[in-house]
């Protein structure tokens, strides 16, 4: 048996030397497990700075907007009144990977955060295919700086209100400002600035052609059949940036900035379960390794386990604390479960996961982390055993029936269906209404028609009218929105401005 080492620390107070020592040890253990990370930049901040970070969606710098102020005021209120604690850490997908540690944390918490953020999340950012495809970790800080300066310049030149209006409208459509299937070009601040002027010119020139008012007679026969755009466009902000007739060049640039940020955050929305599960799995594994080596004390482990188990606690559906499936619980349990399937497969596992049962868990987990997003990860790896453990069941809520129906429970018949239902729950395409730019009346009133392709005949929510007003502000002409059933019938129409309002005028 190996000789037990001296523990790194015994008290709860942290010092910079101790953080450094812990970081070194955790880094060593992480390397032994084969975690590949960006370099870390660990920043110790106060709770007030943490609230600042909250308010600017976790980014170290961002442009100014009232909604961030609202967020800040809200966070501050809730924190001051003790209604909520602040997160122990914030980690930013950048290179080097920036992690914020709060000064109020105890030494144990700091070590936990380092393991969780600096090695868990960090390696996920670096490895997962979505982040690799959609984000450029080395350029984001530069880009944010560019965005902030550009928007400040716009505010100076065109007035705060003017810029605020555009940003409001863009934020309303932020979820519809992402490309889902194309790899965007990597952006650097220098390039961005360089090309911005060229882009302005080009777009203006392009537009003039598009909006030429002189009709071409000879084509009039089949022009009705042609739509613009010829294929529906799901990136509404992109479409507006490139095609809205009345926007100033700087307004297009602002739209672009919001679009780029939306794109940057897009992978995080799709990998919540995996990302947190991965980070929780690794802080658990790394700190246990330190414990096995005798580098941390029993007291340390007690405190750590207390935090860990409250983070991965899943209240049952009928508990007053229930607010949906806890992504930490699901992710962490799935990661542990994969390791178990690899190390100690049961006959059931061999039947369900013939290709990973008994394989090297490090390789399997690494593959899972790299090549999946929440939806496909659940579809692939949610095991019957975990479904039993969490006692999952599916409820069907059909508005046409007075009652909710339990469609599947954790039994032999239900496993597959629950797995599919769970994966569908995490499918962004199901969660957000599928709305696309369908047609522009190029030859007529320039009205823009959007189509909402209904999923399970779910209608749009009550804020739709408001969003359409924002869209109208950006587009400048009438907006129509049609909710379309899969069979092609239009279930509901929205328009902005409302036509009866026009009649009054």
Partner 1 sequence: MSYIIDRRLNAKKKSTVNRQRFLRRYKEHIKRAVEDAIHDRSIIDMERGSEVSIPSRDISEPVFHHGNGGVRQRVFPGNKEFVEGDEIRRPSGGGGGGGSGQGQASNQGEGEDEFTFNISQEEFLDFMFEDLELPYLVRKKLKDATQFETRRAGFSSHGSPEKLHIVRSLRAAHARRIALAGKGESRKEIRALRKELWVLEAKPISDETRLKMAELREQIQKLEKSAKRLPFIDDFDLRYNNLVKVPVPSSKAVMFCLMDVSGSMTQSVKDMAKRFFILLYLFLQRNYKQIEVVFVRHHTHAKEVDEQEFFYSRETGGTIVSSALNLSADIIDARYSPAEWNIYVAQASDGDNWDGDSANCRQLLSKRILPKTQYYAYVEITSGPQQNLWYEYEQVRTEYPDQFAMQQIREASDIYPVFRKLFEKRTENVA
Q: Are 181 and 82 in contact (CB under 8 A)?
A: no
* Closer of 157 and 195 to partner 1 (Cβ): 157
Q: Contacting partner 1 (CB under 8 A), which of 410, 416, 443, 473?
A: 410
39 binds partner 1 (CB under 8 A): yes
Task: State in angstroms the smallest separation of the CB of 19 from partner 1.
Answer: 6
DSSP state of 382: -
Q: What does 288-316 look like in DSSP terms, one character per residue?
A: HHHHHTT-S-HHHHHHHHHHHHHHT----
Q: How far is the CB of 16 from partner 1 (least distance, A)?
A: 6
Radius of gyration over alpha carbons of the chain, in Å?
Answer: 26
Considering only residues 163 to 182 of the shown chain, the ones binding partner 1 according to CB under 8 A are 164, 168, 171-176
Whichever of 68 and 361 has its CB closer to partner 1, that residue is 68
The side-by-side arrangement of strands in the sheet containing 490-496 is 434-440, 448-453, 479-484, 490-496
Closer CB to partner 1, 96 or 358, in the complex: 96
* Total residue length of the chain: 505
Minimum CB–partner distance for residue 494 and partner 1 (Å): 11
Site for partner 1 in 9-28 (CB under 8 A): 16, 19-20, 23-24, 27
Cβ atoms of 252 and 484 closer than 8 Å? no
Quote the least distance from Cβ 443 to partner 1, whole Å: 28
Cα torsion 407, 270, 438, 184 to 10°: value is -160
Nearest to 363 by CA among 32, 34, 28: 34
Least distance in angstroms from the C-beta of 54 to partner 1? 9
Cβ nearer to partner 1, comparing 95 with 136: 95
Q: Give residues with Cβ within 8 angstroms of 344, minimum separation 6.
A: none
Binder of partner 1 out of 34, 459, 489, 490 (CB under 8 A)? 459
Q: Give whichever of 195 and 493 is closer to partner 1, judged by the CB atom.
A: 493
496 binds partner 1 (CB under 8 A): no
Q: Maximum CA pair distance of the chain?
A: 91
In this chain, which of 309, 310, 403, 500 binds partner 1, going by CB under 8 A?
A: 403
Q: Which two tokens stand for residue 24?
A: 């070194």
Stretch that binds partner 1, among 221-229, 300-308, 352-360, 423-431 (CB under 8 A): 423-431
What span, in angstroms and rounded, lies between the C-alpha atoms of 112 and 200? 48
Q: 324 CB contacts (<8 Å, ≥6 apart)?
A: none
What is the sign of the dihedral through the CA atoms of 74, 79, 81 and 82? positive
Does position 318 bind partner 1 by CB under 8 A?
Answer: yes
Residue that has been written with the tokens 């508005």 in this structure: 399
Is residue 464 close enough to count as binding partner 1 by CB under 8 A?
A: yes
Residues 79-118 that bind partner 1 (CB under 8 A): 96, 100, 103, 118
Q: Does 466 bind partner 1 (CB under 8 A)?
A: yes
Shortest CB 392 distance to partner 1, Å: 5
Residues 142-161 that bind partner 1 (CB under 8 A): 160
Question: Is the Cβ of residue 49 or residue 297 nearer to partner 1 in the bound state?
Answer: 49
Candidates 145, 301, 409, 442: give the one binding partner 1 (CB under 8 A).
409
Size of the site for partner 1 (CB under 8 A): 103
CA distance 425 to 393: 13
Question: 60 vs 345, which CB is nearer to partner 1?
Answer: 60
Q: How far apart are CA 311 and CA 27, in angstroms?
A: 23
**In angstroms, rounded to a whole number, what is the distance separating the alpha carbons of residues 287 and 302?**
12
> Of the ranges 36-44, 223-231, 346-354, 497-505, which one interacts with partner 1 (CB under 8 A)?
36-44
Closer residue to partner 1, CB minimum distance, 171 or 288 = 171
Q: Select the span of 123-131, 260-268, 289-297, 405-413 touching partner 1 (CB under 8 A).
A: 405-413
Span 375-394, contacts to partner 1 by CB under 8 A: 390-394
Q: Write the DSSP symbol of residue 204.
A: H
Is 396 among the residues that bind partner 1 (CB under 8 A)?
yes
Binding mask 238-277 for partner 1 (x = CB under 8 A): ----------------------------------------
Return d(Cα 413, Cα 391) in angstroms, integer.
Answer: 14
Closer to partner 1 by CB, 30 or 440: give it: 30
Residues 187-206 that bind partner 1 (CB under 8 A): none
One of 341, 418, 440, 496 touching partner 1 (CB under 8 A): 418
Angle between helices 374-381 and 327-343 (to 10 degrees): 40
**Residue 408 interacts with partner 1 (CB under 8 A): yes or no:** yes
Q: Figure out which of the listed residues 185, 310, 319, 500 binds partner 1, where binding follows CB under 8 A.
A: 319
Of 14, 35, 56, 284, the one binding partner 1 by CB under 8 A: 56
Residues 46 and 102 sit within 8 Å (Cβ to Cβ): yes
Angle made by CA atoms 244, 133, 235, in degrees to the nearest 5:
20
The CA-atom distances, in angstroms, between 45 and each of 48, 159, 198, 214, 296 are: 8, 34, 41, 62, 24
Q: Is 324 in the site for partner 1 (CB under 8 A)?
A: yes
Residue choice 242, 373, 385, 470 for contact with partner 1 (CB under 8 A): 470
* 375 touches 419 (CB < 8 A): no
Number of other residues whose CB lies within 10 A of the CB of residue 400: 5
Q: Tell me the two tokens of residue 329.
A: 């619980």
**Measured distance CA(480)–CA(491) in Å, rounded:** 13
Identify residues 428-457 at the interface with partner 1 (CB under 8 A).
430-433, 435, 454-457
């Amino acid at each position: 048996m190996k000789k037990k080492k001296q523990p790194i620390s015994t008290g709860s107070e942290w010092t910079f030397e101790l953080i450094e020592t812990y970081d070194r040890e955790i880094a060593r253990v992480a390397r032994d497990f084969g975690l590949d990370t960006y370099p870390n930049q660990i920043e110790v901040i106060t709770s007030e700075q943490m609230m600042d970070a909250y308010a600017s969606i976790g980014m170290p710098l961002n442009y100014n907007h009232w909604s961030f102020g609202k967020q800040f005021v809200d966070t501050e209120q809730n924190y001051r009144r003790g209604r909520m604690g602040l997160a122990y850490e914030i980690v930013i997908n950048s290179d080097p990977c920036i992690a914020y540690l709060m000064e109020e944390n105890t030494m144990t918490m700091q070590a936990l955060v380092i393991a969780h953020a600096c090695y868990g999340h960090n390696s996920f950012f670096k490895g997962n295919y979505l982040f690799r495809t959609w984000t450029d970790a080395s350029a984001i800080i530069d880009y944010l700086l560019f965005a902030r300066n550009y928007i400040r310049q716009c505010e100076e030149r065109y007035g705060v209100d003017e810029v605020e209006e555009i940003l409001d409208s863009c934020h309303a459509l932020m979820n519809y400002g992402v490309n889902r299937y194309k790899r965007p070009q990597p952006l650097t601040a220098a390039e961005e600035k360089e090309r911005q002027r060229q882009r302005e010119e080009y777009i203006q020139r392009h537009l003039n052609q598009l909006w030429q008012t002189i009709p071409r007679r000879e084509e009039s026969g089949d022009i009705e059949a042609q739509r613009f755009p010829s294929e529906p466009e799901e990136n509404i902000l992109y479409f507006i940036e490139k095609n809205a007739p009345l926007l100033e060049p700087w307004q297009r640039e602002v739209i672009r900035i919001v679009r780029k940020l939306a794109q940057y955050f897009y992978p995080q929305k799709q990998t919540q379960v995996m990302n947190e599960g991965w980070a929780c799995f690794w802080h658990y594994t790394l700190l246990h390794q330190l414990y096995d080596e005798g580098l941390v004390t029993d007291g340390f482990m007690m405190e750590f386990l207390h935090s860990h188990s409250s983070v991965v606690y899943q209240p049952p559906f009928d508990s007053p604390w229930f607010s949906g499936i806890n992504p930490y619980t699901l992710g962490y349990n799935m990661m542990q479960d994969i390791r178990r399937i690899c190390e100690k497969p049961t006959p059931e596992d061999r039947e369900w996961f013939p290709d990973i049962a008994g394989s090297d868990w490090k390789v399997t987990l690494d593959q899972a982390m790299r090549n999946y997003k929440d939806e496909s990860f659940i579809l692939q790896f949610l095991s019957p055993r975990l479904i039993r453990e969490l006692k999952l069941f599916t409820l069907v809520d059909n508005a046409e029936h007075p009652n909710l129906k339990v469609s599947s429970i954790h039994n032999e018949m239900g496993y597959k269906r629950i797995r599919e239902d769970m994966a569908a729950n995490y499918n962004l395409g199901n969660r957000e209404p599928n709305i696309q730019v369908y047609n522009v009346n190029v030859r007529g009133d320039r009205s823009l028609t959007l189509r909402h392709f209904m999923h399970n005949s779910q209608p749009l929510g009550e804020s739709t009218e408001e969003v359409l007003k924002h869209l109208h502000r950006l587009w400048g002409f009438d907006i129509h929105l049609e909710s379309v059933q899969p069979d092609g019938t239009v279930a509901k129409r929205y328009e902005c401005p409302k036509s009866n309002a026009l009649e009054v005028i």
